[in-house]
Amino acid sequence: MTAQADTLLNTLEHCDMVEIDGLHAFEFSLDEDDNLHIECIDGRVSKHWEFTPAEVEAATFDPDLQSWLITGSSGEHRLVCVTAFSAGDDEDEDEDEDDERG
């Protein structure tokens, strides 16, 4: 998943989804100053976290839990960075082969 040598900043730039403290973030972004913004909904409550570049840089990777520990003004948080994958176009290729045979 994530190599220990990677930084959280590098991992965030290449992931598609973030989970923070067990909550799936519907939005996360790095602004022009590399501040990390994470937003999610917990029930009916919107939650927002912001981390400075120094806090992102100081984050440590936990290889056992495959997650990052980051400490900000709101305390310590666990981030899981996920890269999405798709099935591809295999179905379209099969249909094209059937058309050529038929």
Q: Decide which of 3.40.50.300, 3.40.50.2300, 2.30.29.190, 3.30.1360.120 is the CATH code for 8-101.
A: 2.30.29.190
The predicted-structure confidence for 12-69, as pLDDT tens digits, reads as follows: 988 999 999 999 998 999 999 989 999 999 899 999 999 999 999 999 999 999 999 9
How many angstroms separate the first and last alpha carbons of the chain?
A: 43
The predicted-structure confidence for 78-87, as pLDDT tens digits, reads as follows: 999 998 776 6
Secondary structure class of 35 (helix, strand, coil): coil
pLDDT at 101 over 80: no
pLDDT of residue 26: 84
Beta bridge partners of residue 20, listed in sequence order: 23, 79
pLDDT of residue 2: 44
> Is 58:51 a contact under the CB 8 Å cutoff?
no
Measured CA to CA, the distance from residue 39 to residue 45 in angstroms comes to: 11
DSSP state of 4: T
Cα torsion 63, 67, 69, 70 to 10°: value is 140
